[in-house]
């Protein structure tokens, strides 16, 4: 290796170390001395294969980058991380996908597609858990990556408005949604039942017990049979503890229980559910 090659390698190591926000001691670790790293960065020492492998692992880049005459850092970063990204993706660990890809210098069609789906899934989970500000941020970011990739993301973009509507206005999400615009296209997705619940389709055959009981209670409320509606709503709340947690469902169940108890002149219980609803509402601001 020529002196010029050593200098280029040293420049690459130093620039990448600074980009990652690492000190020389942090990069050296227990594998090499700080003095040796300093010599490598100054272009006066040639790292061994083992040392290059260590530097590459810490700096999140393929070791071939240090010996390449090309400056395409993004290519070598992706090469080093793509296996980790796909392992996380296949395990549905979408937060890990976001973390790994966000550490890279740039994205491409493939990475933007993975980010689109990952941000959607994390955003959806935030909606269901009640972290609505975080949900809005993640879902909006999913749309940005959908626009950045040439890979078809229509099946993901189709579902984003559903959860974004809840994130933006959990008290009246239908004001944020245009159901007829895309409802037919949602039929074959796993999110269709939630869509039907959100739009209060009384004729739909719900498989989720809490959804089914809630729709039955809604019918009773429409018939002003508040006593029976209350029983169904309480059962729905109990079932919701065993169903996958859904902050919107819990919130609306509490709202309807408050309404029913007011109509039954049981203001103590109405106040109880009003407090529970308001506590949830306050907790959504994250």
Q: What is the pLDDT of residues 105-129, one digit of tens each?
A: 899 999 999 999 999 999 999 999 9
Say whether pLDDT at 227 is over 80: yes
Q: Averaged over 75-80, what is the pLDDT? A: 90
Q: Which residues contact 100 (CB under 8 A, 6 or more apart)?
A: 81, 84, 85, 88
Q: Of 113, 119, 117, which Cα lies nearest the Cα of 140?
A: 119
- Per-residue burial over 254-268, b if 16 or more Cβ lie within 10 Å, else e, is bbbbbbbbbeeeeee
pLDDT at 241: 81
Q: Classify burial at 38, counting beta carbons within 10 Å of its beta carbon; exposed 0-12, middle 13-18, buried 19 or more.
A: middle
Q: Averaged over 3-13, what is the pLDDT? A: 86
pLDDT at 147: 97
- Pinpoint the residues of the chain covered by CATH 1.10.260.40: 3-71
Whole-number Å distance between alpha carbons of 145 and 108? 10
Any idea what the Cα angle at residue 56 is, between residues 53 and 57, rounded to 5°? 85
pLDDT at 105: 87
3-71 — its CATH code? 1.10.260.40
Q: Which two tokens stand for residue 127?
A: 């909606």
Q: Is the full-model pTM beyond 0.85?
A: no
CATH ID of 202-283, from 1.25.40.10, 3.10.450.50, 1.10.10.10, 1.10.4000.10:
1.25.40.10
Whole-number Å distance between alpha carbons of 142 and 131? 16
Q: Averaged over 135-164, what is the pLDDT? A: 95
- What confidence tier does 229 reach under pLDDT thresholds 50, 70, 90? very high
Q: Which two tokens stand for residue 5?
A: 């090659």
Say whether pLDDT at 180 is over 80: no
Say whether pLDDT at 188 is over 90: no
pLDDT at 286: 82
Q: Which two tokens stand for residue 31?
A: 């594998």
Q: Which uninterrupted H or E stretch holds 20?
A: none
CB 255 within 8 A of CB 237: no
pLDDT at 71: 66
- Pinpoint the residues of the chain covered by CATH 1.25.40.10: 202-283
Whole-number Å distance between alpha carbons of 179 and 118? 24
Q: Of 262, 266, 260, which Cα lies nearest the Cα of 236?
A: 260
pLDDT at 184: 66
Whole-number Å distance between alpha carbons of 85 and 93? 9
Provide the Cα torsion 119, 184, 176, 260; round to 10°: -110
pLDDT at 92: 97
Say whether pLDDT at 243 is over 90: no
Q: Alpha carbon 76 to chain centroid distance?
A: 26
Q: Which residues contact 178 (CB under 8 A, 6 or more apart)?
A: 161
- What confidence tier does 244 reach under pLDDT thresholds 50, 70, 90? confident
Q: Of 127, 133, 103, which Cα lies nearest the Cα of 248?
A: 127
- What confidence tier does 37 reach under pLDDT thresholds 50, 70, 90? very high
Q: Averaged over 14-34, what is the pLDDT? A: 93
Say whether pLDDT at 138 is over 80: yes
């Amino acid at each position: 290796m020529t002196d010029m090659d050593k200098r280029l390698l040293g420049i690459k190591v130093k620039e990448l170390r600074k980009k990652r926000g690492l000190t020389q001691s942090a990069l050296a670790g227990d594998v090499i001395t700080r003095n040796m790293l300093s010599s490598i960065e100054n272009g006066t020492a040639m790292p061994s294969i083992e040392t290059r492998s260590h530097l590459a692992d810490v700096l999140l880049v393929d070791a071939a980058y240090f010996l390449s005459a090309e400056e395409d850092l993004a290519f070598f970063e992706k090469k080093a991380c793509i296996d980790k990204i796909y392992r996380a993706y296949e395990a549905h660990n979408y937060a890990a996908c976001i973390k790994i890809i966000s550490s890279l210098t740039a994205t491409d069609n493939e990475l933007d597609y993975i980010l689109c789906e990952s941000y959607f899934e994390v955003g959806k989970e935030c909606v269901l858990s009640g972290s609505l500000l975080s949900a809005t941020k993640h879902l909006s970011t999913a749309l940005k990556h959908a626009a950045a990739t040439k890979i078809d993301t229509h099946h993901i973009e189709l579902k984003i408005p559903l959860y974004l509507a809840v994130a933006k206005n959990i008290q009246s999400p239908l004001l944020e949604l245009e159901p007829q615009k895309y409802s037919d296209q949602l039929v074959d997705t796993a999110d269709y039942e939630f869509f039907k619940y959100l739009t209060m389709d009384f004729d739909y055959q719900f498989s989720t017990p809490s959804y089914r009981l809630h729709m039955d209670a809604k019918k009773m409320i429409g018939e002003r049979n508040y006593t029976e509606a209350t029983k169904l709503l309480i059962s729905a709340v109990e079932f919701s503890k065993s169903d996958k947690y859904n902050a919107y469902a819990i919130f609306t169940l509490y709202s309807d229980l408050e309404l029913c108890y007011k109509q039954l002149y049981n203001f103590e219980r109405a106040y109880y559910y009003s407090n529970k609803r308001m506590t949830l509402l306050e907790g959504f601001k994250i």
